[in-house]
Amino acid sequence: MSSLQVAHYQEKVMKELAGLSSEKIDEVVNFICFLKSKEAKKKRKRKVRSEIPANPLLSVIGIGESESPHDLAQNHDRYVYGDI
């Protein structure tokens, strides 16, 4: 994005903010922070994905996740042998 486009958007945002209450401006600021954190999270995910070939341990992340029961360790016998 060119600096001219950025200046245009900044001016547009400032005009829109001028008509808002302080509570709404706080909401806008919070939303901007949310968008920035969302973008940062995407960048971190992309970085981890790019590092997977270099670090084989990263390839096992999430391998144990499943839709199966999460109490398998506690109720192993019940699942293997049925209700005892």
**Considering the domain boundaries, does residue 37 fall inside one?**
yes
- Domain membership of residue 68 (yes or no) is no
Backbone φ and ψ of 27, nearest 5°: -65, -40
Q: Which domain holds residue 49?
A: 3-63
Alpha-helical (H) ranges within 1-84 are 3-18, 22-51, 76-81
Q: How many domains does the chain have?
A: 1
6 neighbors 14 (Cβ within 8 angstroms) = no
- Predicted model pTM: 0.48
pLDDT over 70 percentage in the chain: 81
| Integer Cα distance of 40 and 47 in angstroms | 11
82 assigned to some structural domain = no
**Residue 76 within any structural domain of the chain:** no
pLDDT band at 52 (very low <50, low <70, confident <90, very high): low
51 domain residue, yes or no: yes
Is 31 inside any structural domain? yes
Q: Give the pLDDT confidence of 24-48 residue by residue, as tens digits.
A: 999 999 999 999 998 988 888 887 7
69, part of any domain: no
